[in-house]
Amino acid sequence: MTRRGLAAGAVSFALALGGMVFPLVSEILMRHVGWRSTYVVLGTVVLLTMAVVGGVLFRTRPEQFGLAPDVGRAGDTTVARARSRCSPRPEALRTVVFWTMSASERRLATHSAQGCCSITTICWAATACPASSL
């Protein structure tokens, strides 16, 4: 895949923009049509963007376009090297990196409810995932 940094930046920008705009739009809509109709409007927007636009624009595999998912072009030897660093589940579960990254994902210090769910999910994932998937 090429221009990954640009793509990741665009996604981060859009996520932040959406987080800033949608609560305001929701509040304005609620004042005029009530919270139930606002949820119907949001559901319609999700349907149009995710189901319709996503169905047209999403691509399943970069390899279909002659690109490798991680680095460079398909067939790049660095892809094989990157894949060789993947750890099986028992090995991953013994690393500090896995637990630190999993715990920090949902910002345990600031969102206690999400943090509780995050810990549950991590433990759940550790037992539910197949040995080769982590």
Partner 1 sequence: MTTPGQTYGVSPFFDPVAHDLGLSRAAVATAYTLGTLAGVLPAPFVGRWIDRRGPRVAGVLIGLALAVACVVMASSNSALSLTIGFAALRGAAIGALSVGEPARDQSVGS
Residues that bind partner 1 (CB under 8 A): 1-4, 6-8, 10-11, 18-19, 22-23, 26-27, 30, 34-40, 42-47, 49-51, 54-55, 57-62, 65, 67, 69, 111, 113-114, 116-117, 120-121, 124-125, 128-130, 133
Q: Torsion over CA of 50, 42, 117 and 86, rounded to 10 degrees? A: 10
CB of 81 to partner 1, least distance (A): 18
CB of 67 to partner 1, least distance (A): 5
Give Cα separations from 116 to 26, 53, 98, 119, 124 (angstroms).
Answer: 28, 34, 17, 5, 12
Taking the least distance from each CB to partner 1, the nearer of 6 and 96 is 6
CB of 47 to partner 1, least distance (A): 4
Rounded CA separation 14/9 (Å):
9
Residue with tokens 């630190």: 100
CA distance between the termini of the chain? 22
Rounded CA separation 58/88 (Å):
29
CA proximity to 87, closest of 79, 75, 97, 77: 97
Taking the least distance from each CB to partner 1, the nearer of 40 and 91 is 40
CB of 49 to partner 1, least distance (A): 5
Taking the least distance from each CB to partner 1, the nearer of 16 and 100 is 16
CB of 63 to partner 1, least distance (A): 10
